[in-house]
Amino acid sequence: MRASEPSSTALLIARCLLLAEATPTLRPLLPPHAAEITRQFLTHAPRARLLDFALRHASSRRLLLALEHVVLPGIIRHYLVRKRCIETHVRDFLHQHPDAQVVVLGAGLDTLAWRLAATNAASAFELDRPATQAVTRRTNLSPAPHLIALDLARDCPAAALAKTSGYSPAKPTLFVAEGLLMYFRPGRVGELLAALARAAHDSRLVFTFLERRPNQALGFRGGHCVIDAWLRWRSEPFEWGEDRANLPGFLQDHGWTLSTLTSAPELRERFLSAPERRGQALAEGEAIALARRA
């Protein structure tokens, strides 16, 4: 990842959300108010002139969706149901713990913490690289979550949170790591999990991870080779994944106990079971886990 630039994948996913807003079959899957906040974020982001032009025109949007079908069918829909599933975990946790705090790690241009802050649903915190966070800092939105600039590839999130006004390790805390851990080497993933286990006394962790398959490259199933080439070009290659059977032990070694594990068939059943959504493409290969501090 290039230190002086915002995350390329964060920018791409943000633009995918705007493409979803303009697509009737995808729009119902968007979290409430996510598109309007994302649009404000992107006004302060580096320009992608061709892509931004395409988002404004119906014929070009159809071309983008056709390209998605070739490169990785259903990846935009996966992003949307992934966010919906994670937000369900967050809302359930806040229902059980009204005084809780939510910490989003490597947030990119995600809107969850901003929407929680706007409704006073929880004390919300975002940790991300300065170059990526600079985009959201320029947005004139209030109230805003607590923004903590750090490099998760080398800095300790527990230490950064301990220095942050408003954060309390005594409060119930939910950590969110969506589309993040796959970009770190296994040793660093373990360090981050162990640090988060020390950051609060009563905590949960919801995160996504790529599922490893025997004799298969790490990544989404059915993805075109251009994906890996683009990620390497942007210095954001996939580094870590885990076999579902080995995940409980890996978590236990770093201070966590697995509570639930959700994969593509379950996401389809939960979010795409309506008659008009059956049969729609949904990318597979990334699972969502919820863990409790051991």
Mean pLDDT of 200-221: 94
- Give 222-229 contacts, CB < 8 A, sequence gap 24+: 222/72, 222/73, 222/283, 222/284, 223/71, 223/72, 223/283, 223/285, 224/70, 224/71, 224/72, 226/71, 227/71, 227/72
The more confident residue out of 257 and 277 is: 257
CB 78 within 8 A of CB 283: yes
> pLDDT digits over 231-268, tens only?
999 999 999 999 999 999 999 999 999 999 999 999 99
The rounded percent of the chain whose pLDDT value lies above 90 is 84
pTM over 0.75: yes
> pLDDT digits over 143-176, tens only?
999 999 999 999 999 999 999 999 999 999 999 9
Residue 54 confidence (pLDDT): 80
Q: In sequence order, what are the residues at sequence separation of 6 or more whose Cβ sits closer than 8 angstroms to the Cβ of residue 223?
A: 71, 72, 283, 285
> pLDDT digits over 20-33, tens only?
999 999 999 999 99
Helix, coil or strand: residue 1: coil
Q: In sequence order, what are the residues at sequence separation of 6 or more whose Cβ sits closer than 8 angstroms to the Cβ of residue 89?
A: 174, 204, 206, 290
Helix, coil or strand: residue 122: coil
Q: Is the model's pLDDT at 50 over the cut of 80?
A: no
> pLDDT digits over 120-144, tens only?
878 999 999 999 999 999 998 999 9
The string of DSSP codes covering 163-189 is: TSTT--TTS-EEEEESS-GGGS-HHHH
Residue 5 confidence (pLDDT): 86
Kindly state the tokens that stand for 199: 């950051």
